[in-house]
Structure 1
Amino acid sequence: MQDHALTPSDTRLTLEHDVNLKPYNSFGLPAVARTLVRIREAADVRRVVDHPKLGRAPKFVLGGGSNIVLTQDVEAVVLKVEVPGLRLLEEREDAWIVEAGAGVVWHELVAWTIENGYPGLENLALIPGTVGAAPVQNIGAYGIELKDRVEAVEVVDLITGRPALLPASVCKFGYRDSVFKQTGFGGLAGKSVITAVRLRCPKPWQPVLGYLELERKIAESGNQAPSARQIFDWICEIRRAKLPDPAHIGNAGSFFKNPVVTEEQCRDIIGRDPGIVHYPMPDGTIKLAAGWMIDACGWKGKAVGGAAVYEKQALVLVNRGEARGAEVVTLARAIQESVYGRFGIRLEPEPVVV
């Protein structure tokens, strides 16, 4: 149901009521938004803030819905971010600066940069979600994190309605973390809406190839100096082979973060489980493969109601058809307890439970 009867200053806003959110979350979980506003430009956020009713109401920002688990209907006003736009903002001696609207599908941005000769994002191909959600989670894959490429993030304050351009240095990027996800002092979770992201595609371009699956592709092809396009194609092949397409099987991608431990902790775990997959980090810590630990605990293919662990990749939880958010949460907690019992490691979920 749509409501166009707004005050004169809000004539470009469209309110929708009792909106089914199942198509708007990649898990395909059932939930209803009591009120939904589509944000198609930064000025729409200001219009919401200035609205006599919406301005005072609690808000929930929704992008591509690829990083949430909906367990109930949403009473807060849902701001569905759909800001479009892709452009080369600036070409510098050391980089191309590209800008994308927060509503752009992330993979479409990556494909666009490759098509237009702006390499640097190819390792992040096929990550689900929208551009606006990427800085929140500091998405990453195959040796690259978003923080390695962010120039600045455009936001609009949900209290004042004022826009701001935040340089990467103030975004507090960490492993699957950022100021946009943090709720404490200085955190911006629930306090701002990302409307666009500026990304730095470096010159000269250097491939990032330090992952086993990419090394296998190099060995199979005999191509020792792959182009950005070739890496993009390889990443797409790798991800499609082991990860389910949300368009066909509901999921939120990797459900748990890969835990980071000290060298001493890693040695202790290796002493008990020599086969555990682990990656040394530049700061001396060790990243453990959460998927390997979940698989080792025997969870592949196991289910709670309609929620299950994907048969091809234990790090992914899926909706087998009619799952509810509560079933996903119950399954996730059971996995956490199982992994903690065997490895002494508490896995942390990536998606936000709503």
Structure 2
Amino acid sequence: MALACIADTVVTLTDEAQLDTFMANYVEDVEHRQPLFVLSGGSNVLLPAQLNATVLQPQMRGINVTAQTDSYVDIEVMAGENWHDLVMHTVAQGWYGLENLALIPGLTGAAPVQNIGAYGVQLEDSLQYVRAYHLPTQTWHQLTAADCEFGYRDSLFKRHPNTWLISRVGFRLHTDATKVLASYGDVQTVAQSYAKQQGRKQPAPADVMHAIIDIRQQKLPDPKQLPNCGSFFQNPIIPQAQFTALQARYPAIVGYAMPEAKMKVAAGWLIEQASLKGGGIAPIITHQQQALVLTNHAPYQATQDDVAAAQRYIADVVYQNFTIQLSREPVWVNADGSIGYDEHEV
């Protein structure tokens, strides 16, 4: 979001042994010890002007195959690997399962925190384990997917911020090129076009990946050109009965069935129908092509307060129209490095 921020101390970690050494010294230095703040690529955070904390940045690199059969391949990816580059690499190798998550910004180590998801796929679908350091007890752990307690855009790590530092992530990917998920939005049509160009009757994972890249580039502004942190609001999950009542009033409402008689509603559709596409409170406004994205038109001048004002305004208007409360997706960081996830905290 290009909010200017200065931290007191930044520690860049290029291997796990560095963390062991740093933490041993940190525990002993009681007099000068600051709160710890774990920061990955920074693409999904809203930072304060001054961060009075010691920032730990996992930058370990490497992708290793740990097991392989005719039907699947297991890989271990270090936390500092760029996520989109990883997706491109796996598809090029014939390892599939991550293609729907193409062009999501950030680094691999942060992906489990948010349980990133797009176009019908979530990270937990392929994740096997996470190796992470538990900061309070200074111990390493290998957590299974079940241990991570994944939910929609949620995880154990997100609910306990600055407690875990993820150093590597294990994935199981399949090798069946006919196994694709292309049912969301325009993906099927665009992927089919790619397949036809390659002489295929049905889309392959590479076709789906390139289709999603095209769609995202058309709908989402490049953060380097227009600062943003992608989808700003989560798609709200409401009871089926509430969705049915809204559908009677708004037949075009976009929703997806969820377990336990609930529906996931497209937050972008709600914002657009509330006439807020291109709206907000300057300099933070929604993008003209994608109402779900808040953009910063005053890079390194706008503040957290500006973002909070625009968020409140948009959420209030949507609630007045649909009686649905929107929740923020990016992480709000307080001056001491603590986290405020609930939009009402800002």
Matching of residue 50 in structure 1 with residue 31 in structure 2: no
The equivalent of 1:275 in structure 2 is 252
Q: TM-score, normalised by structure 1?
A: 0.87
TM-fit CA distance, 1:224: 4.3
Contact 1:307 1:324 in 2 (8 A): no
Counterpart pick for 2:305 among 302, 326, 351:
326
Instruction: Give the residue type in structure 1 aligned to 2:181.
Output: V
Secondary structure of 2:170's counterpart equals: strand
Give, as a single letter, the amino acid of the residue that structure 2 aligns with 1:163: W
The residue that corresponds to 1:133 in the other structure is 110
What residue in structure 2 maps to residue 353 of structure 1? 332
Matched residue, 1:342: 321
The alignment's TM-score, normalised by the length of structure 2, stands at 0.89
Structure 2: distance between partners of 1:230 and 1:219:
7
* Preserved CA contact (<8 Å) 1:71 1:326: no
Say whether 1:123 aligns with 2:100.
Answer: yes
Check conservation: 1:152, 1:168, Cα contact below 8 A: yes
- State the 1:220 CA deviation: 4.6
Contact 1:45 1:158 in 2 (8 A): no
SS in structure 1 of the partner of residue 233 of structure 2: coil
With 83-92 and 128-137 compared, the bigger mean Cα shift is at 83-92
Alignment of 1:151-162 (within 5 A): 151-162=128-139
Taking CA–CA contacts closer than 8 Å with sequence separation of 6 or more, which of the two structures ends up with the larger relative contact order? 2
* Contact 2:280/2:313 (<8 A) preserved: no
SS in 2 for 1:229: helix
**Mean alpha-carbon deviation: is it higher for 204-213 or for 262-271?**
204-213
- Structure 1 unaligned segments of length 5 or more: list them: 1-26, 184-188
Structure 2 residues not aligned, in runs of 5+ = 334-346
CA distance in 1, matches of 2:15, 2:282: 40
Structure 1 residue matching 2:264: 3-state secondary structure: strand
Give the equivalent residue in structure 2 for 1:62: 39
Q: Which amino acid aligns with 2:150?
A: F
- The answer to whether 1:168 aligns with 2:145 is yes
Cα pair 2:34 2:52 within 8 Å, conserved:
no
Q: CA deviation at 1:321?
A: 3.0
% identical aligned pairs: 37
Contact 2:39–2:58 at 8 Å: present in 1 too? yes
CA deviation string 1:99-141 (max 9, x = no partner): 1111111001101111212111100000111101100000001
Please provide the CA RMSD for this pair: 1.7
- Contact residue 218 and residue 224 of structure 1 kept, 8 A: no
How many Å separate the matches in 1 of 2:193 and 2:207?
13
Aligned partner (choices 155, 179, 194) of residue 178 of structure 1: 155
Aligned residue in 2 for 1:7: none
Distance 1:303 1:282 in 2: 33
Match of 2:105, as an amino acid? Answer: P
Aligned length: 323
Mapped pair 1:213 → 2:186: yes
Name the CA distance, whole Å, in 2 between partners of 1:224 and 1:257. Answer: 35
State yes or no: 1:96 paired with 2:73: yes
Give, in angstroms, the shift of residue 93 of structure 1.
5.0
What is the aligned partner in structure 2 of residue 227 from structure 1? 204
Displacement of 1:29 in angstroms is: 0.8
SS class of match (1:313): coil
SS at match of 2:188: helix
**Distance in 1 (alpha carbons) for counterparts of 2:283 and 2:111:** 28
For residues 106 and 33 of structure 1, what CA distance do their matches in structure 2 show? 25
**Distance in structure 1 (CA, Å) of the matches to 2:193 and 2:23:** 55
Q: Which residues in structure 2 correspond to 1:12-31 (within 5 Å)?
A: 27-31=1-5
C-alpha contact (below 8 Å) 1:49/1:159 kept by paired residues: no
- Equivalent pair of 1:45/1:161 in contact (CA under 8 Å): no
Partners in 2 of 1:56 and 1:191 — Cα distance? 16
- Indicate yes or no: 2:259 matched with 1:286: no
